[in-house]
Chain A
């Protein structure tokens, strides 16, 4: 994991460049209307293309920021000091700048990010033209693409009540494509069970890295804390994207209807007017509980409706990471090496 660190030397890469390693802290000076409408975005069939559109739009919206040091980039240059291994001297840089810099191995410094995407049936719900699963997949693809552009290794784990797909974090050519294909697979599972995938990922991924959990968290929250603890104990950095449909958040049905549970297949006759209050109370409590767990464990927690533009989601992701970096910097725990 790379931690934000102010370096003088590294050249500022162009934002649109694929080889950019460092990104300034993003500040979005745009009105929400200037983002790509998720509905329009979802009309694009190809997931990769969707991701590209978002990321490029995101770059376009970024402005330079006086903040330095936030980066998900891991390749580092350090001024040579006697005793360093001369093998790691960057000769090209020396040729350009006439100074010795030690270049670190990319392998060591690159971010290992695992995207944990919930693929249960409940994610198949969407009040609009697209579902939560589509949104989550697009979000995952966007993050993956973004990180890929930065050269970070991205892995994927899709799950429902058990693990469906697992791609280890890599940064190879073609890996992104595999990742996109895996994300494109239709959801097969039924229930959401967070504990099994979290437990499994804690077992599989031994090297510490970033874990991005994209889920609707529509599952009993009891064991969630235990497994999140396991993850943080492995010194993974965890971020939770809690995605919900706007209708789930507001429950603004009008007529009494027979509600069909996508996961269990249970039918229930419900008059929304009667139980809206009750529903919202329970949902708020559930969300608050999840948020409280995350806060307690130092886990980033973002909750948003799926009508939120993906750029904002990505921005939230980055800002959250930046703030985390600042926090760590303030505490002075500077770690240079994974």
Chain B
């Protein structure tokens, strides 16, 4: 027997009342007159002992009445077996999205996620189709709809779970938006014939950390019948903070400067602690740094100081609950030596000559040491010098031997800057550019000339493209040589003088390299160029153009492609990962397997090391409010199990109500109660009449 309103069964507790009343010796309704109560004091009513329960039959009747009433109100009915639900035939298509980002390495999140996945897979009906995707910075199919359909129906869940168990969370950041969109698009797969699916569901099993990227969801047009079910996984301990490197060294700092790297400590929004400690791992003598970061904030600190000569590579944060983001790897940059070959018959100390200014233009920094090798034009050059140099600067006409060297230099794909101090150098240029008719002559002008028509699109002038830096009018040229541009094949004018539009800077490709031809010099007799603020950037720009300045990037985030093109001149390069495994990289390829944080080593001469760190966003482990997803228009469905349970419950209740309505057992209960009541009244009446003694208890 079942009950429609089982709460009314609580009414059966009222049975205790008549029992209690029978136990209490009730105050007699009959009064005994007495002369005076002056010697009497009242006695409180007492509960008689159990053995003195009187009028058992009456008591039983009263209890029965109450029981029957309670049962009647509870609306009992006899349950009949239910017919199978016909609506559960059409299946659903479910995409299971499993978060395998670095933040899932916390605590036992992955075990929970697996358990949830298992639950989803096991509750999938026979007609349902399930695909499983794992995602971090991109979504990867683990089991597709096709694979699911091809599996034996009874073993689908088990086989799929095997696949799920083979996966572990990686070190990548979370791009939730991409994952959801991939999942949504995966529904577009072709359906097997004669199969229709009603609902399409995306079940997202994730820790939904704040650092998940959602921006990609903006403006996505959601198909109608897709629902996203979120199965959030919550960590037990929420205190998490991480350490990241902010910037590398100040590029302009002197090589001897001892300023360490700067670090950012980020504390998650739901952290419970605020005090952490940062120390260099493997450097026991370094003092640890105590930092205070309130929850939800980040602070920037200078890394703990290291004694001179000691190098630290791993910064470790202590004091939070989660380990995965507590290490920052750091590779100390090594200064690169860049050689610039200067050919000219000048002394370094002569301030009227270009070399004097050139020497002072290049400052030594921590990343680069620019070495100017000045040679007289008649001095033969060492082969190594030429080979190592990245840029050659010529100011005078060269003898035959040097011209050949310069040609080789150009053919090797390097750059030669020719600053014409005198029109006589034209012959050398004609040789180098293989244009015999080329000539140059001293230009005549009233006072001075300025640069005009500068090609800011050219990489050389690109740094000056911004209007703030594009003012070259303050550079006056007192003298310049007119270059006959039409004599130079493939020449490209990068800047002109404002008078008569004579070319000022011309780029001529020679062989693989480039010849940059400047119609004037930067020394004071020719122009104000050396003294202007544009001189040094322009030189660096030329140096960069010539390939002398390499963008030395040593810090990467997990998943970033690492550009090894410059280093990768050999046939193959071996890259050793932090876990010791080696990856062979074909020539010219970028390294893409930066899938773990740590220090990677490239087997080159000399070995190159770079650090890969965790995405700082992964440290933001506080749960993302579900409303945030709603804000992006994700069609969320309320908790899957709860809703199903509610629906089931409602259905069951309706069915029960119907059965109860048909049976109407409650009527019989009430009738029985009424009969009992009549019997009770009759019995009580008889007892009252039989004698006051027995009536007392009534």
Q: Interface-forming stretch among A78-86, A97-105, A270-278, A314-322?
A: A270-278
B35, A216: Cβ atoms closer than 8 Å: yes
Stretch at the interface among B36-44, B504-512, B650-658: B36-44
Name the residue in B35, B37, B39, B46 with the highest tally of chain A Cβ atoms < 10 Å from its Cβ.
Answer: B35
CA distance A274 to B45 in the complex (A): 12
- B389 shortest CB reach to chain A, Å: 123
- Of the listed stretches A25-33, A201-209, A260-268, A297-305, chain B binds A260-268
Q: Does B30 contact A (CB under 8 A)?
A: yes
CB of B469 closer than 8 Å to a CB of A:
no
Looking at the complex, which of A59-67, A152-160, A225-233, A250-258 is the stretch in contact with chain B?
A250-258
**Complex interface: chain B residues within 8 A of A279 (CB):** 39-40
Interface residues of A in 212-231 (CB under 8 A from B): 216, 218, 220
B382: chain A residues within 8 A (beta carbon): none
Q: Does B80 contact A (CB under 8 A)?
A: no
Q: Do A125 and B35 have beta carbons less than 8 Å apart?
A: yes
Contact (Cβ within 8 A) A262 B33? yes
Residues in chain B near residue A261, CB distance under 8 A? 34, 36-37
CA distance A125 to B34 in the complex (A): 6
| CA–CA, A263 and B41, complex, Å | 16
A114: CB under 8 A from chain B? no
Measured CA separation A26–B33 after assembly (Å):
39
A122 at the interface (CB under 8 A from B): yes
Within 8 Å CB of A271, what residues of B?
A: 43, 46
Q: Are B31 and A258 in contact (CB under 8 A)?
A: yes
Decide if A282 is an interface residue (CB 8 Å cutoff).
Answer: yes
Contact assessment for B28 and A257 in the assembled complex, using a CB-CB cutoff below 8 Å:
yes
CB distance from B697 to the nearest CB of A (A): 11
A258-B37 CB under 8 A given contacts A269-B43, A271-B46, A274-B43: no
CA distance A270 to B39 in the complex (A): 12
Number of interface residues of A (CB under 8 A): 34
Q: How far is the CA of A46 from the CA of B689 in the complex (A)?
A: 38
- Decide yes or no whether B32 CB sits under 8 A from chain A: yes
A245 near B: Cβ within 8 Å? yes
Select one of A257, A260, A278 contacting B41, CB under 8 A: A278
A260 touches B34 (CB 8 A): yes
Taken together as a complex, chains A and B put the C-alpha atoms of A257 and B32 apart, in Å, by 7
Q: Does residue B27 face the partner (Cβ distance < 8 Å to A)?
A: yes
Give the chain B neighbours of A262 by CB distance below 8 A: 33-36
| CB neighbors of A among B260-293 (8 A) | none
Is A286 an interface position by the 8 A CB rule? yes
* In contact, A268 and B30 (Cβ under 8 angstroms): no
Query: Which bracket fits the contact residues of B?
Result: 20 to 34
Inter-chain contact total with CB atoms closer than 8 Å: 80
In the assembled complex, the Cα of A274 lies from the Cα of B696 at a distance in Å of 18
Tell me the complex Cα distance, A275–B41, Å. Answer: 8
**A257→B30 contact, CB < 8 A:** yes
- Which residue of B is nearest A281, CB measured? B39
- Interface contact B40-A259, CB-CB below 8 Å: yes
Given A270-B42, A274-B43, residue A263 in contact with residue B32 (CB < 8 A)? no
Docked complex Cα distance between A178 and B30 (Å):
39
B32 touches A253 (CB 8 A): yes
A202 to chain B minimum Cβ distance, whole angstroms, is: 25
B25 within 8 A of A: yes
Chain B residues, CB < 8 A from A253: 32
Assess the B37–A268 pair: CB atoms within 8 A.
yes
Instruction: Select B35's contact among A122, A267, A269, beta carbons within 8 Å.
Output: A122
Is A36 positioned at the interface, with any CB of B under 8 Å from its CB? no
**Cβ-defined contact, A256 with B41, below 8 A:** no
Which of chain B's residues has its CB closest to A282's CB? Answer: B39
Given the interface pairs A269-B42, A274-B43, the reply to whether A218 lies near B31 with Cβ below 8 Å is no
When chains A and B are docked, how far (Å) is the Cα of A262 from the Cα of B33?
6
Is there a chain B Cβ closer than 8 Å to A170's Cβ?
A: no
Residues from chain A with Cβ under 8 Å of B40 in the complex: 259, 268, 270, 275, 279
Structural contact, B39 and A257, CB atoms closer than 8 A: no
Residues in A neighbouring B27, C-beta threshold 8 A:
258, 269
Q: Can you name the residue of chain B whose Cβ is closest to the Cβ of A280?
A: B39
Closest to B693 in A: A255
Instruction: From A125, A263, A283, give the contact of B39 (CB < 8 A).
Output: A283
Residue of A nearest to B41 (CB): A275
A260 touches B32 (CB 8 A): yes
Instruction: Tell me the chain B residues, 38-74 only, with Cβ under 8 Å from chain A.
Output: 38-43, 45-46
User: In the complex the two chains form, is A258's CB within 8 Å of B36's CB?
Assistant: no
Asked if A125 contacts B33 (CB within 8 A), the reply is: yes
Residue of B nearest to A131 (CB): B35
Chain B residues numbered 141-195 whose CB sits less than 8 Å from any CB in chain A: none
CB pair A132 B39 closer than 8 Å: no
Q: Give Cα distance in the complex from A269 to B689, angstroms.
A: 23
Is A184 at the interface (CB under 8 A from chain B)?
A: no
Nearest-CB distance from A123 to chain B (Å)?
Answer: 8
* Shortest distance between the CB of B365 and any CB in chain A (Å): 107
Q: A256-B43, A268-B40, A271-B46 are in contact. Are A248 and B35 (CB under 8 A)?
A: yes
Contacts of A286 in B (CB 8 A): 39
Q: Hey, which chain A residues are within 8 Å of B30, CB to CB?
A: 257-258
Residues from chain A with Cβ under 8 Å of B45 in the complex: 269
Specify which of B37, B693, B696 is in contact with A259 (CB 8 Å cutoff): B37
Neighbouring B residues of A283 by C-beta, 8 Å: 39
A258 to B696 Cα, complex, angstroms: 11
Identity of the chain A residue whose Cβ is nearest the Cβ of B42 in the assembled complex: A268
> Using Cβ atoms and an 8 Å threshold, which residues of chain A touch B46?
271
User: Min CB distance, B32 to chain A, in Å?
Assistant: 4
| A269-B27, A269-B45, A271-B46 as given contacts; A259 in contact with B34, CB under 8 Å | yes
A260 CA / B28 CA spacing, docked (Å): 12
Per-residue interface assignment for chain B, residues 411 to 427, with 1 indicating a CB less than 8 Å from any chain A CB and 0 otherwise: 00000000000000000
Complex Cα gap A317–B530 (Å):
157
Contacts of B38 in A (CB 8 A): 218, 220, 282
With both chains docked as a complex, state the minimum distance between the C-beta of A266 and any C-beta of chain B, in angstroms. 6
Residues of A within 8 A of B35 (CB): 122-125, 132, 216, 218, 245, 248, 262-263
Distance to closest chain B CB from A137 (angstroms) = 16
CA distance A270 to B28 in the complex (A): 10
Across the interface, name the chain B residue whose C-beta is closest to A261: B37
* Contacting residue for B25 out of A122, A124, A256, A267, CB 8 A: A256
Partner of A267, one of B31, B41, B43, B696: B31
A-B contact pairs, 19 of them (CB 8 A): A122-B35, A122-B36, A123-B35, A125-B34, A253-B32, A256-B28, A257-B30, A258-B28, A259-B32, A259-B33, A259-B34, A260-B33, A261-B36, A262-B36, A266-B37, A267-B31, A268-B37, A269-B27, A274-B43
14 new A-B contacts at CB < 8 Å, known A256-B43, A262-B33, A269-B27: A218-B35, A248-B35, A255-B28, A257-B32, A258-B30, A259-B33, A259-B40, A260-B33, A262-B35, A269-B28, A270-B43, A271-B43, A279-B40, A282-B39
